[in-house]
């Protein structure tokens, strides 16, 4: 599932019955705050996420921040 770019940030999801991975690619020179409500079909506030690149685990909030000129790759669970 993919979404049209917003503020230079392209987001897509890969998923099956057991796992969901969110990939956000920010080509902008500034960090981008993504409202999770835009992706309500695949991610909800309160879902658990693990940053695949950094290993950090956290709960998803109302927004997700994608660093400037960087990817954000999250493994999501409910």
pTM as predicted: 0.93
Strand positions, DSSP E, the chain: 2-6, 9-15, 20-26, 32-35, 48-51, 57-59, 63-66, 70-77
The pLDDT value given to residue 78: 81
The domain in which residue 35 lies consists of 2-77
pLDDT along the chain (78 residues), means of 10: 95 95 97 96 95 96 96 95
Domain CATH code at residue 29: 2.60.40.1180
């Amino acid at each position: 599932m993919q979404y049209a770019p917003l503020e230079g940030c392209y987001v897509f999801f890969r998923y099956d019955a057991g796992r969901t991975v969110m990939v956000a690619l920010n080509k902008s020179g500034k960090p981008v705050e993504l409202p999770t409500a835009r992706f309500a079909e695949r991610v909800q506030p309160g879902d658990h996420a693990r940053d695949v690149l950094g290993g950090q685990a956290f709960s998803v909030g109302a927004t997700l921040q994608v660093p400037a000129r960087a990817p954000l790759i999250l493994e999501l669970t409910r």
